[in-house]
Amino acid sequence: MSESPAPSPSPSDPTRPVPSGALGTLRTIQMVSGMVGIGALMLSAVRILVDPAAPMPSWPAVAVVLVVLVGSAVLVRRVGYTVPALPQGLPRENAETTSLRYFTSTTILRTAFAEAPVLVAFAVSFVFTPHTWVTLLIALPGGLALFWLHGWPSPRTAAAVEAGLEAEGAESYLSEALGFRAG
C-alpha cells in the first residue's frame, strides 16, 4: 500500500487563511507606523540605561519639552490629516490607490509628529543642565498618546483622512480598501 502525497494547500483551502488585499495593505501601513513609533521607546530606554542618574530637570528644559509636545499635538490636528479632495468622476481603482497613498503618507507624518517630543526631550536631556533623562518621562506619555490616537492606522484615522479626500463629493473607498468597512 503506497501513501499518496499530502495535497498542497490551495488558496480556497479554509484551513489556510489567505490575507485579503485590504488586510495586507493595512498591515503594511501598521508595520511602518509601528517601526517609526517604536523609535521613541528604544531611544528612551537606551538613554535611561546609559545614564541611570536622574536629577530633576531645569525649568527651561521642561518648558522646551512641553512646548514641543503641545506644538506636536497642534500640528497633528492641523497638518497631519490635510489631504487634497479627490476629483469627481475618478475611477474606483484610481480613487483607492490615491486614497491609500495619501493615507500612508499622512500616517507617517502624524507618527513623526507624535515622536518629535521624545526626540526633542532626548536632545534636551544632554543640552540643558543638569543632564537628565527625566525630560523623557515628560515627553514619552504625551508622545505615546499622540501616536496611539493619530499615528496608529485605525478606523478613526481613516475616517478623518477620508473626510478630506471626499470633501468635494467624490468617493475615496479608503475605509473599504483598508478593510475597515465592507465594500
pLDDT in tens, 104-148: 999 999 999 999 999 999 999 999 999 999 999 999 999 999 999
Average pLDDT of span 72-100:
96
| Per-chain mean pLDDT for the chain | 86
Answer whether residue 7 is part of any domain: no
Answer whether residue 91 is part of any domain: yes
| DSSP label at residue 152 | S
Answer whether residue 32 is part of any domain: yes
pLDDT tier for residue 47 given thresholds of 50, 70 and 90: confident
Least trusted range by pLDDT, from 15-19, 24-28, 63-67, 77-81: 15-19
Alpha carbon distance 81, 177 (integer Å):
18
pLDDT tier for residue 43 given thresholds of 50, 70 and 90: confident
Cell representation of residue 42 = 528604544
Answer whether residue 11 is part of any domain: no
Answer whether residue 51 is part of any domain: yes
**Which pLDDT value is given to residue 54?**
84
Structurally, the chain folds into a number of domains equal to 1
No. of helices (H) and no. of strands (E), the chain = 6, 0
- The parent domain of residue 40 ranges over 21-178
Answer whether residue 8 is part of any domain: no
Answer whether 96's CB lies under 8 Å from 17's CB: no
Answer whether residue 96 is part of any domain: yes
pLDDT tier for residue 18 given thresholds of 50, 70 and 90: very low
Answer whether 95's CB lies under 8 Å from 171's CB: yes
Does the pLDDT at position 19 exceed 80? no
Answer whether residue 83 is part of any domain: yes
